[in-house]
Structure 1
């Protein structure tokens, strides 16, 4: 099986793995590249092993503080051109900085450029935060959310650490806007979309424009193209299904509302508990699947509790800890 490419692919398996890893991670893959990558991986077991080693180094790099990389780069006083080979990155780094190999292959897009802008934004429980970025893009954070924003000359990157965020991205074709949400990386140039990152899932929904969602390991990624009124949810599996979404319902949080359309009571309680302490307790397991429809103020769960007995056969009780509970009538 032969592999051909317009760019020179190194003969050394580790250097070739760095080449492919940089293209995948840097968003440089073009039409047909995924097939070429899969062919290269299948050529020999050492190819797949080399790529897995590159992934392992990247995982270590993600856990390494930025200061470690910056300190190392600051020691390199002699300017030199970026190289793809692993030897240019591993030699002399030592165990504390060995993870730089997994990052340095990203080239100028990441560590060989200086940050033009870096900021972390956090919203407290029950708080919504809106922030305009230097490029004119807008980020809205839902309750209990955190993002880290980094701007480079070639890339705008946001890491959604937890929670939920709505993005209104100012288009810059030459400088894409990437959102890293753990299980998924969302790549856009200009659009309006929502990303929610929970413990086990990532949910992406597009209000207008289009985005590309990448999931899975770097060497075996899946790609999904979403347009307005579409979304997907990624769980533990590699694949997801693109579906039509009720965007108005999903974005109701931006107006402080939660819209439920025959949703299980267990889901509703969990959703409202995102916004306020001490939270609501569902006492009766038989009520978990009880379906309720309504529009509620996320900042006033007491109003939900007051109206719930008129919608379902339940009673509201208050425990000694001050939390309100829902029990079967």
Structure 2
């Protein structure tokens, strides 16, 4: 297959085949011949692997496949060796897909097991604005990874890392749920911000109302405009607070990182979301040093290099190459 732009019919054929292989390779009765045919299908076009992985992500998110399941054992063959293709298994797979997949997809949608739309967005070195299939608009901060699945009974977002600002299209019969960490935020139409770093999550509401629940909370806690909820993975309930005029949770939308008299231990989670390798503290005394300033989110690395000029610290490197902040101990003079 060439790598030119595909027609809608050709794209649908790849999607149907990917769904078929996703079902067969995770079935108990999958044969060695089928796995060989799957390898041959992957070898036919690089787009096959991309579509299979996207299909697998959908099914795993819908809890229809085991977590961490990855049955791909495909190794690309050298260019000088022709790929042998056994078209009979593929022809049989196509026939089964044409008969079974439309019905299975319709049943999965009607039972709210499978989504009818899946989107995956990433933002690496610049802020990105995207539109979801339901019309909602999302702004992604740097180093953010987000997936959207549209089910019959709900719209579901998974924020695996980073930060996003949501302007949700109102639909009272179709709740919009953002999963982050071991908690979730549930709305029908509003504007709010979700930040996730490691196991920490903070939700800031701008307009409307949201229902925030952590891992152990029953029913969740409702926020009004200007309120925030924060939790760590495993927290029984989120911590609630009313933000004030000095809150800088949304400064990133203007490309600003604002540190307002924070201790370094408080500032590091905010700083580290913009770094490939996390900034580390040498000890608790270093973490107690306070820092203030307004910085460009694209120049955080430069800001770190300049910290020794404004704070009583020096920089070292850990074994894995991460930057470590060390407090300068004042000299004591003996009398």
Give me the TM-score of the superposition, normalised by structure 1.
0.60
CA 1:62–1:287 in structure 2 vs 1: closer, same or farther (change >3 Å)? farther
- Residue pair 2:185, 2:210 contacting (<8 A) in 1 also: yes
Q: Which residue of 2 aligns with 1:203?
A: 202
Residue 138 of structure 1: how far off its partner (Å): 1.0
Higher-Rg member (1/2): 2
Question: In the aligned structure 2, how far is the partner of 1:186 from the partner of 1:109?
Answer: 23
Number of residue pairs aligned between Structure 1 and Structure 2:
240
Indicate the residue corresponding to 1:37 in structure 2: none
Contact kept, 8 Å, 1:183 with 1:234, in 2: the verdict is: no
Cα gap change, 1:109 to 1:150, in 2 (>3 Å):
farther
User: What's the offset of the Cα at 1:214?
Assistant: 2.8
Match of 2:228 in 1: 231
The alpha carbon displacement at 1:182 in A equals 3.8
User: Which structure carries more relative contact order (alpha carbon 8 Å, separation 6+)?
Assistant: 1
| Distance verdict in 2 for CA 1:177–1:288, change over 3 Å | same
Structure 1 contact 222–239 (Cα < 8 Å) conserved: no
Change (3 A) 1:324 1:239: closer
Matched, 1:121 2:121: yes
Aligned partner of 1:110 among 97, 101, 112: 112
Gaps of 5+ in 2: 1-60, 72-96, 329-335
Q: Aligned residue for 1:193?
A: 192
Cα drift, residue 79 of structure 1 = 12
Q: Displacement of 1:250 after TM fit?
A: 0.7
Write the deviation string for residues 154-177 of structure 1: whole angstroms up to 9, x where unpaired. Answer: 322112222222111111222221
When the two structures are superposed, what TM-score results if normalisation uses the length of structure 2?
Answer: 0.59
Q: Deviations over 1:114-152 (max 9, x none)?
A: 63321111223x443221123321112223222211123
Q: Establish whether residue 244 from structure 1 lines up as the match of residue 246 from structure 2.
A: no
Deviations 1:16-67 (Å, cap 9, x if unpaired)? xxxxxxxxxxxxxxxxxxxxxxxxxxxxxxxxxxxxxxxxxx9975745899
Please give the root-mean-square deviation of Cα atoms over the aligned residues, in Å.
Answer: 3.9
1:179 corresponds in structure 2 to: 178
Q: Distance in 1 between matches of 2:226 and 2:203?
A: 11
Unaligned regions of 5+ residues in structure 1, if any? 1-57, 83-103
- Match of 2:169, SS state, is coil
2:133 match: secondary structure: coil
Q: 2:214 touches 2:235 (CA, 8 Å); kept in 1?
A: no
